[in-house]
Amino acid sequence: MLALKQKEMGKTTLAVKIEHKVADRVRKFCRERGIKYGFFVEKALEERLEREELKEDLLDLKTLRKDETLAISLEEYLNNRRV
């Protein structure tokens, strides 16, 4: 289940169900290090999103590498479009 609730100052509430063991580990980790839960979770999500986007970019690069020889220069492209 995923629920979003808009709040002031550009923040939102993201409610998700996770295993108790994971929640307990996060709470303990943050408490021991003096880190706020929200900050920790937000940074973890950002890092994971960046990692997944990088994987997609690398896959695109690998997939498109073979088409690189078919590429034309920007100048030629614009000439063809008569821009």
Stated as kind and residue range, the H or E segment containing 6 is: strand 2-6
Find out whether 3 and 15 touch, Cβ atoms under 8 Å.
yes
Residue 4 has what pLDDT?
Answer: 56
Using CA atoms, how far apart are residues 40 and 34, in angstroms rounded to an integer? Answer: 10
10-residue mean pLDDT profile of the chain (83 residues): values are 57 93 97 97 97 94 87 90 77
Please state the domain count of the chain.
1
Residue 21 has what pLDDT?
Answer: 98
Query: Residue 58: which domain range?
Result: 2-81
Backbone φ/ψ region at 34: left (φ over 0), alpha (ψ -120 to 50), beta: left
Find out whether 30 and 24 touch, Cβ atoms under 8 Å.
no
Amino acid at 77: Y
